[in-house]
A and B are shown apart, each in its own frame.
Chain A
Amino acid sequence: MRLLFTILALFLVSIASFAQDNYDVDLIPSNLRNRANACIRNEETTVDMRSPDNVLLNVKKAITVFNRNGEAQARLVIFYDKNISIKSIKGEVYNSVGKLTHKFSQNDFADMSAADGFSLFVDSRVKHYLPSVTEYPYTLVYNYEIRNKQNLIIPDWTPKPADDVSVEKSTYTFICKPTDDIRIKTQNYTGKPEVITDEKQRKSVWKVNNILAVKPEPYSPARDTYFTNIQIAPKAFYYYNHKGIYTDWKELGKWIYDDLLVARKALPASTIEMIKDLVKNEKTDKDKARKIYQYLQDKTRYISVQIGIGGFQPVAASEVDRLGYGDCKALVIYMQSLLQAVNITSYYCVVSAGSEKKSMDPSYASMDQGNHIILCMPLDGDTTWLECTSQKIPFGYLSDFTDDRLVLACTADGGKLLRTPKLTTDENLQIRKAELTLKADGSIAGKMHTAYTGSQYENQERLIDKPITEQHKLLKETYNIDNIDFETVSFVQKKDIKPKLVEDITISIRNYAPVNGNKMFLQLNAFNVKRSVPEVKKRTLPVYINRGYTDEDTIVYTLPDNVDSELITGQNKTFKNAFGEYTCKASVEGNKLTYYRKFILNDGTFPAERYAEFSKFINDVNAADYLKLAISLKK
Chain B
Amino acid sequence: MTGKMTVDGKIIGTLSTYTTGYAAYGKRKEILQHSSPDEYVEKLDERLTRIKILDHQISNLDSVENSLEEKYEVELTINDGTNKNQFYFSPFFIHTISKNPFNLNERTYPVDLGAASDERITINVLLPEKYLLLEKPKDMAIALPNAGGKYLLQTALDDNTISMNQILQFNNAIYQPEEYLFLKEFYSKIIQNQKTECLLKKTN
Residues of A within 8 A of B (CB): 35-37, 66-69, 164, 213, 215, 472-473, 476, 480, 482-485, 510-511, 513-514, 516-517, 519, 521, 523, 532-537, 615, 619, 622-623, 628, 630
Tell whether B49 is near chain A: CB-to-CB under 8 Å: yes
- Contact check, B195 vs A523: say whether CB atoms are below 8 A apart: yes
Chain B residues 137-181 with CB under 8 Å of chain A are 137-138
- Contact check, A36 vs B35: say whether CB atoms are below 8 A apart: yes
- Contact check, B47 vs A534: say whether CB atoms are below 8 A apart: yes
Asked, given contacts A480-B99, A521-B197, whether A511 binds B32 with beta carbons under 8 Å apart, the answer is: no
B138 to chain A, nearest CB (A): 6
- Contact check, A511 vs B49: say whether CB atoms are below 8 A apart: no
Tell whether B203 is near chain A: CB-to-CB under 8 Å: no
Q: In the complex, what distance in Å separates the CA atom of A215 from the CA atom of B46?
A: 12
Cβ 8 A contact of B32, one of A35, A67, A472:
A67
Knowing that A482-B187, A514-B192 touch, tell me 17 more A-B residue pairs with CB under 8 angstroms: A67-B32, A69-B33, A164-B35, A473-B104, A476-B104, A480-B103, A484-B103, A519-B135, A519-B199, A521-B196, A532-B49, A534-B43, A534-B47, A534-B49, A535-B49, A630-B88, A630-B199
B37 to chain A, nearest CB (A): 12
B55 to chain A, nearest CB (A): 15
B139 to chain A, nearest CB (A): 11
Cβ 8 A contact of B39, one of A215, A473, A534, A630:
A215
List 28 A-B residue pairs with CB atoms under 8 Å apart, sorted by A's residue number: A35-B35, A66-B35, A68-B32, A69-B32, A69-B33, A164-B35, A472-B105, A476-B103, A480-B99, A480-B103, A482-B99, A482-B103, A483-B188, A484-B103, A510-B188, A511-B188, A513-B195, A514-B196, A517-B135, A519-B199, A521-B196, A532-B47, A532-B49, A534-B43, A535-B49, A536-B46, A619-B49, A630-B88
Chain A contacts for B45, CB-based, 8 A: 535
Chain A contacts for B88, CB-based, 8 A: 630
- Contact check, A482 vs B135: say whether CB atoms are below 8 A apart: no
Chain A contacts for B105, CB-based, 8 A: 472, 485
Q: In the complex, what distance in Å separates the CA atom of A37 from the CA atom of B34?
A: 8
Chain A contacts for B188, CB-based, 8 A: 482-483, 510-511
A469 to B, closest residue via Cβ: B106
B43 to A, closest residue via Cβ: A534
Interface centre among A516, A537, A630 (most CB of B within 10 A): A516
Q: In the complex, what distance in Å separates the CA atom of A321 from the CA atom of B32?
A: 55
B136 to A, closest residue via Cβ: A516
B36 to chain A, nearest CB (A): 8
Asked, given contacts A164-B35, A511-B192, A630-B88, whether A483 binds B100 with beta carbons under 8 Å apart, the answer is: yes
Cβ 8 A contact of B135, one of A68, A511, A513, A516:
A516
Tell whether B2 is near chain A: CB-to-CB under 8 Å: no
Chain A contacts for B104, CB-based, 8 A: 473, 476
Tell whether B61 is near chain A: CB-to-CB under 8 Å: no
Cβ 8 A contact of B100, one of A35, A215, A482, A619:
A482
Q: In the complex, what distance in Å separates the CA atom of A534 from the CA atom of B45?
A: 8
Chain A contacts for B197, CB-based, 8 A: 521, 630
Q: In the complex, what distance in Å separates the CA atom of A480 from the CA atom of B102?
A: 10
A520 to B, closest residue via Cβ: B196
Q: In the complex, what distance in Å separates the CA atom of A516 from the CA atom of B138?
A: 7
Q: In the complex, what distance in Å separates the CA atom of A533 from the CA atom of B45?
A: 12
Q: B37-66 vs A: 1/0 string, CB under 8 Å?
A: 001001101110110000000000000000
Q: In the complex, what distance in Å separates the CA atom of A519 from the CA atom of B199?
A: 11
A524 to chain B, nearest CB (A): 12
Closest 10 CB pairs of A and B: A534-B46, A514-B192, A482-B100, A516-B196, A619-B49, A532-B49, A482-B191, A521-B195, A476-B103, A514-B195
